[in-house]
Amino acid sequence: MATMSHDKIISELSLNEKKVLLTLGKLHGEADPKKVFEIGDFQQQVEVMNAAAWLQSKKLVIVEEIIKKVYALGKEGESFLKKGLPEKRALKKIIECGGKATLQSLNSVLDRSEIPVAIGWLKQKHWATISKENNETIFTVTDEGTSRINKQTNDEKLLQMLKENPDATIDTKEHKLLLSRKNVIKEKEIVTGTIKLTPLGYELLQTGIAIEKEISQITTKIIKDGIWKNISIRPYDVNTFAPKTFGGKYHPLNLLITRIRQIFLEMGFSEIKGNFVESCFWNMDALFIPQDHPAREMQDTLYCKNPSTINIEDDELIEKVALVHESGGMTSSDGWGYRFNKDEGKKALLRTHTTVNTIKYLYNHPTPPAKIFSIEQVFRNENIDSTHLPVFYQIEGIVHDEHATFEQLIGLLFEFYKRMGFEKIRFRPGYFPYTEPSMEVEVMWNGKWMELGGSGMFRPEVTEPIGIKTPVLAWGLGLERLAMLKFDITDMRELYQSDFKWLHNQKLF
């Protein structure tokens, strides 16, 4: 008996789906797609596969893949079939020689490389015995060997069969020995499928599925001419299953960077970009980092071999920076009180912070006001662990303004993190050679304060040599640390692995 729900399911079947069901009914409920195609009056085989996939989603059929191992002749197999198996040729020769032959005499029927193969299989198949007579190797045919000479052996039968029916299935146990020989028989896997009716599919068939002409596409003609009154129209089901598609997506870090960029742009900043390879002068000297600072050592900074040096064009600037380092120069500072080494500044390195971007920007654009940011990678000679990477991003920026104040710096960073979704942040006094006052930014995460970056106002020792007298607010924040908080992961390395398990249940912006 047809129930309401059966009627509903049937009414939602497409013509091809009905045809597949009916064809399966004829084929005892199960068949491979090719068979269904042949029997079922389809135009193309894909129609069968598509309909089967839909029927599967409606739980009316099960589509199964069957992986079958098939066999064909390999290179050696083909040559064996032409020339005969090496052991068979040897056997023939031995019998020709009267049942006893020397190793020497086999040379006429076998290639050099085939001789050990032939000997091995003569013994294995018990076709001949091997002995030594007068220092010569002698083969003597056995009864077994004699009985084989005019008969096609199992091995030969198989080779012949595979020649006639490539990609055949074979009894692998029976042909174990031949299969073990190199390049004689090739094994291949082929995937075939079957479509099988489910109990529900059977029930539907029993209630009777009628193939009637039905319209699945309505045209203006159908409406205008009133044809619609007399035809059956396939109902449209908006809740029906659709295959999942997995399109490409942005990397979560890229999404984060885009969001950060947007925040700074909204706050009126402009983005700048810099270089990976920089001089020590711009990365360190110009920032009043003393030349004996531990961060300059090879253990922390990656110096370049090629180029190993970068020339600084502005000699006057180098003089000013040297003077500031030595004695404070035109500022009221005493400097570091050591002899500045100009060559040190020429060393090429992979930038260790993006503060090099901003100091170079200020040198080239000394007139305020300016609001600048960059989100770029920096390099440090770090050991990798859950919170350290040798290559990581910094979110760097400056406000250069006559009226800029330290409070504004606090307010600005507060605002940035607030827009990023962090309410609880605090500032602690910090130290950087190039800022005074300096502070560190910390964010509350899982009940702990986590350090996210440094900031401060550039010291006169930094701004004076490049001709700047107005205040500059500066900050450099870690991106990956922020990402860890945002994505709730405890190991930074996960950001750079392709397996984004941690992304599950994450809402990205």
Judged by the rule CB under 6 A, the positions of this chain that interact with ligand PHE are 353, 355, 432, 435, 453-456, 474-476
Nearest 5°: phi and psi at 228?
Answer: -55, -25
Of 473, 474, 476, 495, the residue nearest 484 (C-alpha): 495
Report the nearest approach of ligand PHE to the CB of residue 441 (Å).
10
Cα 158 from Cα 106, distance rounded (Å): 25
Residue 235 is classified by DSSP as: P
For CA atoms 453, 459, 462, 463, give the dihedral sign: positive
Pairing of strands 472-478, 391-400: antiparallel
192 CB-near residues (< 8 Å, 6+ apart): 32, 65, 66, 68
Report the nearest approach of ligand PHE to the CB of residue 440 (Å).
9
Under 8 Å between Cβ of 43 and 51: no
Report the nearest approach of ligand PHE to the CB of residue 298 (Å).
18
86 or 476: CB nearest ligand PHE: 476
In angstroms, the Cα distances linking 190 to 71, 156, 477 are 10, 25, 55
Report the nearest approach of ligand PHE to the CB of residue 354 (Å).
7
HSE of 359 in the Cβ direction (CA atoms, 13 Å)?
Answer: 32
CB-based closest residue to ligand PHE? 476
Of 291, 295, 292, 294, the residue nearest 281 (C-alpha): 291
Report the nearest approach of ligand PHE to the CB of residue 189 (Å).
55
Q: Is the peptide bond before 369 cis (omega within 30 degrees of 0)?
A: yes
Beta-sheet strand order (sheet of 128-133)? 100-102, 136-141, 128-133
Report the nearest approach of ligand PHE to the CB of residue 378 (Å).
7
Report the nearest approach of ligand PHE to the CB of residue 438 (Å).
6
Of 379, 396, 499, 369, the residue nearest 452 (C-alpha): 396
For CA atoms 48, 50, 53, 55, give the dihedral sign: negative
Report the nearest approach of ligand PHE to the CB of residue 493 (Å).
20
15: how many CB neighbours lie within 10 A of its CB?
15
281 or 475: CB nearest ligand PHE: 475
Report the nearest approach of ligand PHE to the CB of residue 455 (Å).
5
128 or 483: CB nearest ligand PHE: 483
301 or 355: CB nearest ligand PHE: 355
